[in-house]
Structure 1
């Protein structure tokens, strides 16, 4: 059946005569779609945010750093500071060959001034080993030099890898590689400018770990140990390894192996597994809430369409008395339902997408810094909902509204005009 101009005119006239009814129908549709888009978009934003934190890091890695004891042990009081050292690094590399991959030590000196002429930058100076870039999200582009290598480590070279912002501040667009900078009175040769995930805000500079120990008189002290693991593909295996590793540390530093405060182990794989479990729970919860929200919209549309058909029973009787066919009346109801539901569904979809995009702009690239400087996370990123998914929801509401109006309308147009005119 062709859609004639007079049908459009009738629909517009009906909407104008029943503004409140049309608004309530449209609001039910728009609100259901809006809430569903916001819920799904927010869920996707949270998931994408968490996933981005693992995208450029080795998830099978552990970072270890010393803390304070919370238990007495062998006559020693609690509260002792546990300082990692070279022996811990050696034990890590030699005592766990089945489960430790690449490993490296880290020393960090905060608030160091890197200068070149009259320009300067204040940042952290981090002593690392070449394996650092295999675990953490730092890379050196092809034309920007190199990272710390084994020869730098062996010869305790005074070389440095700097952040792009540091290079721009100190060298004003000139090539920094091969130039010298001053770090609190000590000259370092720039061997590389690294590329960093844009969502991280630190501006660290890297030097060879052995150079940091030597120049800054750290002796055999280590701030952190970072290594990758292998063969620990379940949480149970990871927990067993962590316990064995702590026992080795406890034997060397003489603290209770059950003292959870003496040393801290940040096991990214365990955290990653926990994240996957949480992701599944959140996704299920979002879909359950979203479906019930959508169903509330369906119920709202259905109820309003049922009321609409009942209110217009007399109108249908008049139309039939004037010669209108039952099919034309049905088509009028269906088309009106489709137009209202689609229009307001689109408004709800646009509103939901706009809100999630605003949320993305508000939270994107913000880090949640916990007690240590390496625990930085993006919490909200790319809260997208597929266009096909959003349109599917609108189609579902259109079908629900159409069916809700079709069956009572079909029954109404089948009665005789005189009976329809008598209907309350």
Structure 2
């Protein structure tokens, strides 16, 4: 293996056949380069979609009401379904529901502070909404249970509202007027996955009393205790059956009660990307095989060209193992060097693309507002692919090497 004369002979052979060596190495390097590009692109798509899902809890569920379209228990279709506070008390106690927040919809409301004012969206909620939507607090705190119980006039404002109303001033402890009603600012937050932070959050109980909401609720945001698709669907069915009995509508009437199960959507989407990854691996391995076949063909040509030389070697006492080793070392050298070049170029290009995307996207990429994120290949996978290529190149060179070792000296010396 470490015979200097043997390595000098291999290098001399490569120098004499530069074009042949280049074409052989190019087929190998191209194969692993394309494998790295394909794997990196597949990871980039998968990471981007997964990051978008992570803006909210993966096990989140949203429920809203509509109108019935099916007659049920003597009641005509077209009947509006309305949630109330007792529905919130009911849903948070259902098996499989981890946390729940109700919302009374206020729409766009007028915010003012000193000489500044503007219209923004007010989200009325319970403290558990932060379990679902995962707001990032810059200052202060989020709505808590005491705010709900005491109907406190407090509000958590988005970063854009803070910038528009307060400019560079601190907002915590200050009072903003919401539809001319003073509310104390207790927090400033950033919404996940959004570059427009124009929402404000206030206790739902306060909104119902101050803005004539009675005990009405418009929708629920939940997190559920479901790890698999089947478990999440069972919880969804349990919730639908519960509300169908309470509000007397047909359980199959989807217009009466709308539901979005994020876990179900997440699992199905990730299955699609798993299938895409498998497809990418198939294409990449096919490209590698094409390179390996190229190496094998070139080595066959090498044996053919060096038939007389091999005959002379055997005639003066060279063993079959030395002949096999000489040809195998040449195959391993070309495969290893070319494979490493393809690996470096492929991973380097993916890292460059990733760096460029992070620099150009800025905050949007960090917050998950992209479908292509971190298109890099795991180092272990890259090394394993290169080692696989070297082993396969060795096997590809073994067949012609074995054939060369079996040639009789007298036959080799007669070869034209």
Same fold (TM over 0.5): yes
Deviates more, 1:325-334 or 1:339-348: 325-334
1:246 paired to 2:245: no
For the residue of structure 1 that corresponds to 2:142, the secondary structure is coil
Are the counterparts in 1 of residues 292 and 396 from structure 2 also a CA contact under 8 Å? no
Q: What is aligned with 1:45?
A: 44
The 5 Å alignment of 1:8-407 reads 10-16=12-18, 19=19, 21-53=20-52, 55=54, 57-73=56-72, 74=74, 76-78=76-78, 81-93=80-92, 96=94, 98-112=95-109, 114=111, 116=113, 123-140=120-137, 144-168=139-163, 170-183=165-178, 185-194=180-189, 196-197=191-192, 199-203=193-197, 204-230=199-225, 235-236=229-230, 238-274=232-268, 277-278=271-272, 281-314=275-308, 316=310, 333-354=327-348, 356-357=350-351, 358=353, 379-407=371-399
For the residue of structure 1 that corresponds to 2:373, the secondary structure is coil
Query: Is there any run of 5+ residues in structure 2 with no aligned partner, and where?
Result: none
TM-score by length of 1: 0.76
Are the counterparts in 2 of residues 58 and 135 from structure 1 also a CA contact under 8 Å? yes
Shift of 1:259: 0.8
Q: What is aligned with 1:370?
A: none
Q: What is aligned with 2:404?
A: 412
C-alpha spacing 1:302/1:192, structure 2 compared with 1 (3 Å):
same
For the residue of structure 2 that corresponds to 1:228, the secondary structure is strand
Distance 1:123 1:360 in 2: 35
C-alpha spacing 1:301/1:118, structure 2 compared with 1 (3 Å):
farther
TM-score by length of 2: 0.78
For the residue of structure 2 that corresponds to 1:127, the secondary structure is strand
Are the counterparts in 1 of residues 324 and 404 from structure 2 also a CA contact under 8 Å? no
Count of residues paired in the alignment: 406
Deviates more, 1:186-195 or 1:52-61: 52-61
For the residue of structure 2 that corresponds to 1:295, the secondary structure is helix
Distance 1:341 1:3 in 2: 20
Query: Is there any run of 5+ residues in structure 1 with no aligned partner, and where?
Result: 368-375
